[in-house]
Homo-oligomer: A and B are copies of this chain.
């Protein structure tokens, strides 16, 4: 049970953008280099993030990506949903109605998955990229060796 690495890379990229928020568009090449991810692969993820309205893109020379809103209003959950689909440990507890299981009303096992989903959403939706930025800067200031995200 893992999120795919799309999500891992996507969150890293978004954090990178958050750390450069307000400085104009950041080209993919720069992000890919800092995060050691294939530029071409990252491109696909950014496409999804753009369609989800989380990043804005500028084409042409001096173009690139930037956050579509301020870091404090974008959560990790937003990114996960954009890249991975609805957050749900099993199909039968996805939020959109499609049941996929006709025993929903009286399925006892399902109560566990519902609680699990809530608890996952609580963590993911309560963490914004502003929070992560702050943590990153803190880490940089306490002279903690070297900062990964420049």
**Which residues of A approach B to under 8 Å, CB–CB?**
1-5, 7-8, 11-12, 15, 76, 80, 84-85, 87-92, 103, 105-109, 111-112, 115-116, 119-120, 122-124, 127, 132, 135-136, 139, 144-149
A88 touches B124 (CB 8 A): no
Q: By DSSP majority rule, is chain A's interface helix, strand, loop, or mixed? A: helix
**B-chain residues with CB within 8 Å of residue A136 when the two chains form the complex:** 108
B8 touches A109 (CB 8 A): yes
Report copies per complex: 2
A145 touches B112 (CB 8 A): no
A-B contact pairs, 9 of them (CB 8 A): A1-B85, A2-B90, A11-B112, A107-B148, A108-B132, A108-B135, A109-B132, A115-B127, A116-B124
